[in-house]
Structure 1
Amino acid sequence: IRTKWIPLVNGRTERGSRLPIILVGNKSDLRLGSAMEAVLPIMSQFPEIETCVECSAKQLRNISELFYYAQKAVLHPTAPLYDPEAKQLRPACIQALTRIFRLSDQDLDHTLSDEELSAFQKSCFGHPLAPQALEDVKRVVCKNVEGGVRDNGLTLEGFLFLNTLFIQRGRHETTWTILRRFGYSDTLELTADYLFPPLHVPPGCSTELNHLGYQFVQRVFEKHDQVSATVLLPSPLLSPTGS
């Protein structure tokens, strides 16, 4: 594994962009006991190894699990999110989740209220959190993170802790769902489609903000205007150039 397979897969790639790997022990029906203990040092040495599975095609042992883990390693890789040696989120993941937290903090009080958490949950997963679930989440954060909950709202420290906990418990798909909902790619960079959404304008036509778009931009400005400056915005904001 050390001298052949991992160099064959990732020998010519940069450390930060290595492909996820699943170690598979075949024909487990032919041996007594498990070889997992011998594999653990290898998994510690190579962080791109997502998991190890022993299986037997003859006995149909762990076959479906093998494909599940392989699919999960591709769709929800651990390496971009979490450093297993340091047991903490990677800097790029912290940066992305911090941006998401600030976007979700609508009233700019540096905490996520129950209403903001429910709106965040619904935006990412399609349904709001039940009141009891909200209390359970905050209870777990209070128990593990000093300052994770303030004035009954979830702080950034608490938000980062929750995502760390998801990953440590093997629920990478939860954090990836959040990241992808806010426009992040597998490399934790904002996608071009998110930054530059296509605007299709028929030939001979022009485009400009309507009154709802104008009000939206004005609300965004007022939300982030910390000195209450008065700036007159031209109307319409976009000239009729057809682009």
Structure 2
Amino acid sequence: MGDEVKIVILGDRGVGKTSLILTLVTEEFCSKPPRTVNRIGITSEVSSAGLTYLVDYSEANSEEILEDADVVCLCHNVVDIESLFESVEKWLSIVRLQAYKSPPVIIVGTKSDLIGDSRNEFNSSWNEKCKALMSRYPEVASAIECSSKLNLGVLNVFVDAQKCALYPLCPVFNARSGKLTLEASRALRRIFHIADVNKDDVLDFVEIGELQRKAFNTHLGDQGYEDIRELINSSIQNGVVKQGITIEGFFALQAELCKNLKQEVVWTLLKAFGYTLKFGEVRLELGPILSLRLNPDQKKNSLSKSSLHFLRNCFSKVDAEKEGIIKSERIKKIFSGCERIPREFDLALESTTVSFVAGKPMISMNSWLARWELFMLVDCEKCLSNLILLGAVHGSLGLNHKVSVHVNKVRALSN
């Protein structure tokens, strides 16, 4: 998701591809447009996405045009609505063959000014067919109608196209199943558990407010909180409890946003916690987050004071009895936002390095910290990655701890 976006406008001859581009650029309708127009760049004054290129499809150099397309606008004359399925299937097969980025596709119904008096009948048929196409083909992200002649909906076509390129729906939501993707679910589970500061498996008003501030830099008022609860309640049962929002409710909220084509909200949340789009999937970028610094006084790799402080907080939050010792179930709660518990903290694999209370393995605060120090010595990169997965970079959202490690100077120079 870079600063430049390439939008390819394609469709059968005569559907109004070139007129669509010219109306956007000139804000006037050209009654006798050329067959095609050259590639047009729109500056950031017009495009919120940065520099956006509009490319009019031509069969003469179709492979070159489509190969690096970020999003495709598939135009179809709304008057010929009966052939919509046939047209979409034909063009999707071409896009799949020639576009290596697997770009999202927007169905654009052109010449809506020709619908006439049958508007209600058309709307019903158009919506039904487009919904069926979106369910059948996951790359079809949305559908919109417009009129270049009347300049109605033209700007919306390109705004939607930019949004699809910058915040693609498919990597986070499966329109066919109506569910979040596996990768998005894993990412959102981690975010939920990082935001759940008191570790009670519920996001209360304060925690939701902190999450809102962290991800969107805005204040969440009482009405905003009630709107979120209402949206979740309209989607599933048990998504909202007296204390706040459950993880099921949190997932339902993100899914509803995607269903309403508000996936940019979900992406903004993901990006705030280090996620990006890579190879068509939601991925956590660990590299830029890892902070290594030289400390010639240190003879070995060791966690910084801020990281140790973060780890003490993790332990204390699940030590409800404040006894300074926790069971394996509490260890699992600490790592609940991760796919699995690191082997170094799986008490079921050990028999001599843990204490037993009532026959159950337990570890103390000192043992917890010592394991992390040993983890750092044995596998520095894996240790830091797990710290980040726990939320060390974000701390308790408001604390903003920074993961760091002291590195022996000689070793650092040799690398």
TM-score when normalising by structure 1 = 0.80
Deviations 1:211-233, CA, capped at 9 Å, x for gaps: 44442343345446634523254
Q: Where do residues 1-243 of structure 1 align in structure 2 (5 Å cutoff)?
A: 1-11=87-97, 18-29=102-113, 32=116, 34=122, 36=126, 39-40=129-130, 41-142=132-233, 144-186=235-277, 187-193=281-287, 196-197=289-290, 199=292, 211-223=305-317, 226=330, 227-229=362-364, 230-231=366-367, 233=370, 238-241=406-409, 243=412
CA distance in 2, matches of 1:129, 1:111: 17
- Between structure 1 and structure 2, the one with the greater Rg is 2
Deviations 1:19-66, CA, capped at 9 Å, x for gaps: 200122334445645583685243332121112233332321211011
Higher strand proportion, which one?
Answer: 2
Deviations 1:133-175, CA, capped at 9 Å, x for gaps: 2234234434543222234221101111111111122211111
Q: CA RMSD in A?
A: 3.4
CA distance in 1, matches of 2:407, 2:285: 27
- 1:29–1:59: 8 Å Cα contact kept in structure 2? yes
Deviations 1:57-78, CA, capped at 9 Å, x for gaps: 2321211011111011111222
Identity %: 27
Structure 1 residue ranges, 4+ long, deviating more than 6 angstroms after superposition: 204-208
Aligned length: 239
CA distance in 2, matches of 1:107, 1:147: 20
- 1:20–1:50: 8 Å Cα contact kept in structure 2? yes
1:238 match: secondary structure: strand
Counterpart residue type for residue 406 of structure 2: L
- 1:26–1:54: 8 Å Cα contact kept in structure 2? yes
TM-score when normalising by structure 2 = 0.50
Gaps of 5+ in 2: 1-86, 319-325, 331-361, 374-403
Closer/same/farther in 2, CA of residues 210 and 60 from structure 1, 3 Å limit:
same
Counterpart residue type for residue 238 of structure 1: H
Which stretch of structure 1 is more off in the superposition, 146-155 or 166-175?
146-155
Counterpart residue type for residue 215 of structure 1: H
CA distance in 2, matches of 1:38, 1:152: 40
Closer/same/farther in 2, CA of residues 27 and 183 from structure 1, 3 Å limit:
same
2:283 match: secondary structure: coil
Counterpart residue type for residue 246 of structure 2: T
Gaps of 5+ in 1: none
CA distance in 2, matches of 1:124, 1:151: 24
Closer/same/farther in 2, CA of residues 139 and 59 from structure 1, 3 Å limit:
closer
